[in-house]
A and B are shown apart, each in its own frame.
Chain A
Amino acid sequence: MSPFESLREALRLLRAQPLRSLLTLFGLVWGTAAVIFLLSWGVGLRTMLDTAFQRAGKNLVQTWAGKISEDFSPAVDRRFLWYTQADVEALRERAPELDRVAGETRRHAPAAFRGRALSLEVRGVEPEGEAIRDIPLASGRLITHEDMAQSRRVLVVGHRARERLLGAEGRVGSWVRIDGASFQVVGVLERVGTQLSRDGAEIDDQLWVPLSVHVALWPNPWLPVEMLSSILARAKDRDRIDAAEGEMRRVLADRLGVAADDEEAVPIFSPVKMLRRIPIDQQNGLNLLIALTTLLVGGIGILAMMLDSVQERRAEIGVRLALGARQRDVLLQFLWEGVAIVVLGGALGVALGAGGALFLGSDAFRSGIPAPLRDLVPVPELSAAVVLLAVVAMAVVALTAGVVPAWHAARIDPAETLRVE
């Protein structure tokens, strides 16, 4: 009997008991779908977290001046520290692990446009800082070195700040009053979306002005220097974030005159390191384990059904043997039945899993998620590798479950099954 004949025979038998076949298939279908869905969900989750953590700047390392920690100095002598533009320059010269370095100042200030007034976070930025943030423009331009040098009162507006403050009629060229001073809007930023790591307000809610203007207009009342709120930098290499941090701390500690390992004096934050602390690989591993277990349970279902089917069909097997079937023919018949189930269950499972993954990524589904959450719901990332893994895992499980009953079937003694007592 050719494999083709065996397969046709197997399909006919599957059709003969559709309900049982369907129930048996369910475990396999669900397991396969679970592997595909959970794996693509996991990859999507990683991407979502990575994106959401790095929206405020890729490979960002950022520091705020702190105070000398108790370990390094008696309590009475704990100084508050601050950074100035000179520290930024020092980092640019002495920290080769850092790609770009920029100072930033910030304050909350009332902003007004045509009778609308809001309190918004106003940041003094320089072009290097804009490059680190790397937010695309919706219209206009960013703040330039000329703006800095000439202390131009120009303004770049975040996406939501534009909606709330400027409304429909405001655009590039409009004038906005911030804390009494007039600024002309030169650029509007694209929407950034939900930031899982941020310093203060989200970028969408910020107003950006030249750093030089910011420090001149709003000096620190207690200090005789032009103090920065923070220093941000981009590490050259994501995998060398620790080296970049160490370098930053060394240079700044040296300039501040504090111990080089005083993490309280020079606190450094980087989203990449924070991301690393989320056990996403472990979570994905657990998901995979759960999915594979589901598949295994599906396989056990098939094993049970096929063994049952062999028992139920002992007489049939005896008849077939009496009519000239070789053991091999009987073995193949049951194996092919297993294969038919695998192919059918696999196809349905892949369709269900991939369909689910694609649906969660579709506009139809995503437009139904409330806007603030949308950035935090992963788009499952379906890949050929994920589908292949699921198909291979399913085939291994199901074929293992098919071989045992087939072997049982082939060893049936025809004389015994045909005896009528």
Chain B
Amino acid sequence: MSAVAIRLADVHKTYAIGENEVHALRGLDLEIGRGEYVSVMGPSGSGKSTLLEILGCLSQPSAGRYWLNGVAVDEVDADGLAKLRGEAIGFVFQAFNLLPRMTLLENVALPLLYRGVPRAARHERALASLARVSLEHRAAHRPGEVSGGERQRAAIARALVNRPSLLLADEPTGNLDSAHGREILGLLEGIHADGATVVIVTHDPIIGARTRRHIGIRDGAIESDERSAA
């Protein structure tokens, strides 16, 4: 496998909102190596969420190309993209996005379900993933029955269950108090330490300061790209 996890070449993204065209990304070039720990920062409307959607294969660039682990994403069909999302990428959202009618265990097992893993193995791996975020005792609870921090930990367990090479987090601590936020950051650092590429989108400089590489975005283009010593 390539040592480069993510490569973006002259990526543009435009949305049509009513009569207006919004240019969310304007010719973005970016390379992120395997195992990097990166934060993407920028003000609201800078295009950082759009960047994350493209990195997560949730939407396609309007122009330009994107290679994930050496694979040109624009050459992959819809089912292939679903497979990439399910197996190569793990998502952590600001709003957790757990399915409210399912138990935490069932939520964590969802990516395995779409991957066609048999029921017993699903159960076992989901439980192991919950154990990694110290939530195995909450496996049978629904999201509404646990705290915000626990919900986000469950969401991380879900993102990890397929052992993705890329973890994308969108304001993972945005809905949490600082104690729980630190706990989540600790988990993300652990994942990075285990070898995964971690990209966090945030506008919180405290989080940004904890990563090894800091990318600043403004008006759909990279404004700064700095590295700090480990």
Identify the A interface with B (CB < 8 A).
Answer: 1-2, 5, 12-13, 16, 315-316, 318-329, 413-415, 418-420
Contact = CB atoms under 8 A, between A and B. Distances in A.
Contact of A329 (B94, B97, B101, B114): B114
16 contacts: A2-B116, A12-B101, A13-B101, A323-B85, A324-B83, A324-B86, A325-B82, A326-B79, A326-B83, A327-B78, A329-B82, A329-B114, A414-B58, A415-B53, A420-B93, A420-B170
For the complex, would chain A's binding face be called helix, strand, loop or mixed by DSSP majority?
helix
Interface of B: 49, 53, 56, 58-59, 78-79, 82-83, 85-87, 91, 93-95, 97, 99, 101, 110-111, 113-116, 158, 162, 170-171
Contact of A323 (B59, B86, B171): B86
B47 to A, nearest CB: 12
A322 B114 contact: no
B85 A418 contact: no
Given A321-B82, A326-B79, A415-B53, A1 B114 contact: yes
Contacts of A12: 101
Most-contacted residue by chain A among B59, B111, B113 (CB, 10 A) = B113
Contact of B99 (A1, A2, A319, A328): A319
B86 A325 contact: yes
A418 B93 contact: yes
Contact of B113 (A1, A16, A413): A1
Contacts, number: 71
B58 A415 contact: yes
B136 to A, nearest CB: 20
Contacts of B87: 324
B165 to A, nearest CB: 14
Contacts of A325: 82, 86, 114
Contacts of A318: 97
Given A320-B114, A418-B58, 8 more contacts: A322-B56, A322-B85, A323-B85, A323-B158, A324-B86, A326-B78, A326-B79, A327-B79
B97 A418 contact: yes
B144 to A, nearest CB: 12
A327 B86 CA distance: 13
A1 B56 CA distance: 22
Contacts of B111: 323-324
A321 B58 CA distance: 8
A324 B78 contact: no
Contacts of A328: 79
Nearest to B175: A420
Contacts of A316: 99
B78 A322 contact: no
Contacts of A415: 53, 58-59
B148 to A, nearest CB: 15
A225 B53 CA distance: 109
Nearest to B90: A323
B116 A1 contact: yes
A327 B162 CA distance: 20
